[in-house]
Structure 1
Amino acid sequence: MKKLLLSSIAFVFLLTSCGSKTKGELVGAQGKKWYPEKPYGMELIPRGSFIMGKSEEDQAKVLNAPTKTVTVRSFYMDDTEITNSEYRQFVEWVKDSITRTRLAILADELGIGPEDGGIGDYAFKDADTTRASVYDKYMLDNYSGMGETGYEGRALNKDEDLIWDTSEYPDEYYAEVMDSLYIPEEESYNGQRSIDVTKLKYKYSWMDIEAAARASKKGKGSRKDFIRHEELEIYPDTTVWIRDFEYSYNEPMHNDYFWHDAYSDYPVVGISWQQAKAFCNWRTKFKNDDQKSRGKQFVNQFRLPTEAEWEYAARGGIEGGTYPWGGPYVISDTGCFMANFKPQRGDYAADAALYTVEAKSYEPNDFNLYNMAGNVAEWTNSSYDPSAYDYVSTMNPNGGDQSNTRKVIRGGSWKDVAYFLQVSTRDYEYADSARSYIGFRTVQDYMGEEDSTQ
């Protein structure tokens, strides 16, 4: 028996030593290969230091941007503002998900599955136990009924195309669900019945890392205490075109600007800071869902830029420039305006644009970013405090006070005078507000260059 035991130990040792690829050396835990890609539609902004704030006279005498040398890390930034077309992709995804969820829930309540056809074709994937994975079955057995609705975590069937033509609805149950998504018949006119946009809500969770880090230092709180849950309507507020301007006829912009293909490449407006944050969360999820399907490592999150990142990117590497193109003038040598803004009192069209222009208009700055001045002002992740420059860090500075609902906007817009186009000018709006002259663009932290040998 003793000899048999020793033989077994020796055999196991032989297996572990001969089968080891490390040869007993400290080589580190081996994870997936990381092949970073340049995010689509983004430009790399290299790390660097710059003088943040107003190096020239502050004509408005606001005195909220004293000069300060700061350093920011490398990051990617959208080369244009997020367009109507890009934001519509978000809206369509939410509409699709809500529709499939409602169809799946009703199918589940009726006990109808794929084998029954009709609405059963849209049942939760785990409803077909012959196709459900071991994990799906485990989740159904152990977590069914948990959460706000009891259906959280169950996989939707996205293999079946949704049917929008009323003449092709497969059964009355499908018609019932679709009818619940549209505005009531009595509220429609001219024979047009539209989706009730108040039903288009995006729900997500995020971890308040800063609060968790500070609490852990004091030994307080558990992980769940710092998970924040958000749910909000994500359709742009198109009424801003009318509400922002009293005694002004802007009804055509209210009616057409967001949804019509003529404006697809124009910057989206009517978006609150909260909606912009939700878009960033969705964009991260949308990309990582694809990464997961291809067996690739997740990318890091898309987010709004900090105020310092925005100013650094807007300057385009030009030290002491007044505008993104550097010089102190808003008219070029050939007599053309360099951005979309209000150049003269009452004359919005002197720069060849009355409202917004296409996102890739005018010349980009030296980081190849378009409209960092004018067109639409842009949300940043930073909270506004007039004395922020006196206390924020000189490394990746950010005034990120969650309790402060005033959020910094930068760049000026089509309705602003030249002062607001200056790269150092600070302004703010409340996080839950939407305006016809505020949009946004996103950034992503840099994690290495693409491997050209692959």
Structure 2
Amino acid sequence: MNIKKFILLTTVLVLVASCNSGDRGQLVGVKGKKWHPEKPYGMTLVPGGAFIMGKSDDDIAGVQDAPTKTATVRAFYMDETEITNSEYRSFVYWVRDSILRLNLAEMADLEGKTPGSGDIGEFAYLDSNPDDLNAYESYMLNTYGNEQRKINHDADLIFDTDEYPDELYAEVMDNMYLPLEESYNGQRTWDVKQFKFQYTYMDIERAAKDRNLKRSDVIIKEEIEVYPDTTAWIRDFAYSYNEPMHNDYFWHSAYDDYPVVGVSWKQAQAFCQWRTLKHNGFQKSKGKQPINAYRLPSEAEWEYAARGGLQGGTYPWGGPYAKNDRGCFMANFKPLRGDYAADQALYTVEADAYDPNDFNLYNMAGNVSEWVNGSYDPGSYEYSSTINPNVNDPNNARKVVRGGSWKDVAYFLQVSSRDYEYADSARSYIGFRTVQDYMGTEVTKNAATN
């Protein structure tokens, strides 16, 4: 071939390739899906910024536990209220129904039942008919086995005993309840010990500190019982009659909008994982990008949010008093010498009771104390970073709780006060709220006020 013709042909091919790609040969980068920040339902945006964290010098005892330091946190979304009974019940029911569907699918598979027969076969695994699988699903099933089997979430579960489709279905349902000899008042009760949520996560901090670890070494698997410990209402207070709260507080609709309690730190972590899974499932169904994970706030994030932009305030409303100018209490706590009802509440109140702070966050002081994603160490303020400070040692079972509760005196309502409980403990006065990292143009408190 003539050398001039070869050069001309090469030039034409390059031009055609450039025109087809639309970038004219320039470095424009790989574009992802269109994305716009979306405020999660029930959350408010807390703009990032710096604040004075810790106790003032006049609190001699407290300053040993929380010495003053300047800290900066990035922007994040935070639940406007504590997670309510109604919201947590949706988690419990999802876990219950998923386990029930799995048990039904296992029974159908054992008995060789398939959809179309009007019996338990309607709940068979989606791969019970190989012809319904695409190439990827078929490959994953053949390569990895039962771990890739898909539960049928389309068939409606049947809870009315008069409508059970067959005896196999009745047998599976019967095994989800406590035995008859453990029932009373003619009611069968769910065996809540079976309500276990399994999830995996990556311990990124451990992976970053030890580069010799394999990826499989930092993938952590957890299995958590999700039902709240309702007996906490009785165990927390000796020689006290609190059986009505034990019997009704979590499941009765009268308490739907009250904060969930009796939830351990580990259960709160599991809820965050489930909420992320639920939201990302919707995102995937709509062809949208996944959202940032829901999680517990760090101790610094919690205090920054509780202050509501007020530097040096004692309480979320400023202070230094727990009453307003009309003599009304500003939060739900234990005023005076045990006069619990003086603040218009004996136990907890609705999660959106009392006035919110300037970030539109309710009950950051009082009502229930809140788990945060941090381990309690009296000296942690001394060595933690000044940007997004957080100390969470997996070997330290003492986890920080903040905000004070309906049974606490005013001191624990102060935004700088620290307390702790063990990660596997559940209390009638500890709940939680979640946060989500903000993505997009950085929003700071300083920028918001300029």
Output the TM-score relative to the length of structure 2.
0.94
Within the candidate set 204, 209, 222, 1:209 is matched to 204
Question: In the alignment, is residue 263 of structure 1 matched against residue 255 of structure 2?
Answer: yes
1:67 is matched with which residue? 68
Amino acid in structure 1 at the alignment position of 2:189: S
Is this contact kept in 2: 1:38–1:449, CA < 8 A? no
What aligned pairs does 1:75-90 form with structure 2 within 5 A after superposition?
75-90=76-91
Unmatched tracts of structure 2, length 5 or more: 443-450
What aligned pairs does 1:151-190 form with structure 2 within 5 A after superposition?
151-190=146-185
Give the drift of 1:303: 0.3
Structure 1 residues 416 and 60, CA, compared in 2 at 3 Å: closer, same or farther?
A: farther
Percent of aligned positions that are identical = 67
Alignment size in residue pairs: 440
Matched residue SS, 2:406 = coil
Amino acid in structure 1 at the alignment position of 2:184: Y
2:274 is matched with which residue? 282
Question: In the alignment, is residue 104 of structure 1 matched against residue 105 of structure 2?
Answer: yes
Q: Distance in 1 between matches of 2:338 and 2:324?
A: 22
Matched residue SS, 1:152 = helix
Amino acid in structure 2 at the alignment position of 1:209: I
Matched residue SS, 1:143 = helix
2:445 is matched with which residue? none
Amino acid in structure 1 at the alignment position of 2:65: N
Matched residue SS, 1:178 = helix
Amino acid in structure 2 at the alignment position of 1:138: Y
> Which sits farther off after the overlay, 49-58 or 186-195?
49-58
Matched residue SS, 2:89 = helix
Structure 1 residues 8 and 355, CA, compared in 2 at 3 Å: closer, same or farther?
A: same
Is this contact kept in 1: 2:333–2:367, CA < 8 A? yes
Amino acid in structure 1 at the alignment position of 2:168: Y
**1:2-48 Cα deviation digits (max 9, x unpaired):** 99xx7998886565333111111111111111122001100111010
Question: In the alignment, is residue 223 of structure 1 matched against residue 215 of structure 2?
Answer: yes
Within the candidate set 386, 393, 396, 2:388 is matched to 396
Q: Distance in 2 between matches of 1:22 and 1:61?
A: 61
Q: Distance in 2 between matches of 1:393 and 1:75?
A: 18
1:130 is matched with which residue? 131
**1:226-248 Cα deviation digits (max 9, x unpaired):** 00000010000000000000000
Amino acid in structure 1 at the alignment position of 2:54: G
**1:115-161 Cα deviation digits (max 9, x unpaired):** 333111111111122322222211222111xxxxxx32221111110
> Which sits farther off after the overlay, 397-406 or 128-137?
128-137
What aligned pairs does 1:19-34 form with structure 2 within 5 A after superposition?
19-34=20-35
Is this contact kept in 2: 1:37–1:449, CA < 8 A? no
**1:262-309 Cα deviation digits (max 9, x unpaired):** 000000000000000000000000000000001000001000000000
Unmatched tracts of structure 1, length 5 or more: 145-150
Moved over 6 A (4+): 6-12
Give the drift of 1:443: 0.3
Structure 1 residues 327 and 56, CA, compared in 2 at 3 Å: closer, same or farther?
A: farther
Aligned CA-pair RMSD: 1.9
Is this contact kept in 2: 1:203–1:231, CA < 8 A? yes
Amino acid in structure 1 at the alignment position of 2:208: A
